[in-house]
Amino acid sequence: MAQAGIHGLVSLAVKKWAPGKEWLVLGIVLGGILPDTDNLGVAFATVAKLPIEGIHRTFTHSLFTIVVVVAVFYLVSLLTKQSRWRYLGWGLGAGILLHILLDLIIWFNGVAILWPIPSWINFWQNVAPPVWFDKFMSPAEFLCFALFLYALNSAARKGKTDSEYLSTLKIWTLLQAALLVIFTVLVYTMSKGFTTIFGAAYLLSLGLVVGITIRMRKTIEAAI
């Protein structure tokens, strides 16, 4: 997978081409980040000592999932008679599709793009990244989270939105920067146990970023 923060940054960057529909861009950004929440399933399986194969980059990275998400939110829109739910669904679908494409293009692992149909695709299967680079990709998650939060901060200042939240946002951004430093040291020095503590910090950070994205939806929507 590409870092979740990268997906968030790319999703923010494409907003300039999105129609000005309520919750559409919010959906694109959330859709760009949420597929990697399948790591929660990996974490649960690991703790429960269950097989982890077939969890990551499968059901949340499938074209069929996009169809289901769009359909569900379309029904919600019909039931509530609020078009923004339909636009949110479209945005989520577009964001998930963008996530899938980025994982295929810029990362070294495959994606089960047609899950549950066996359909593992990996454009980089014959490429092996250097060991040091492969290790650094874990702490780099926090670097990308920090960059995504910084981009939200910049957009809020430019658009003069969510100003009351910016001091808190700065704290969360600095926390991600601190985690980058800490886990960069740990990944090259710890012989055992790194995956466990990294996984916990990563999942908490991922949840934090999703929450901040929803909290700053005014900034994201205003930045169209």
* pLDDT single digits (tens) 86-113: 999 999 999 999 999 999 988 778 899 9
What's the predicted TM-score (pTM) here? 0.92
The domain segmentation of the chain, as residue ranges, is 4-222
Of 218, 156, 209, give the one whose Cα is nearest residue 30: 209
Please state, in angstroms and rounded to a whole number, the distance separating the CA atoms of residues 157 and 151: 10
Res. 193 pLDDT band, cuts 50 70 90:
confident
**pLDDT for 127-141, tens place per residue?**
778 888 888 999 999
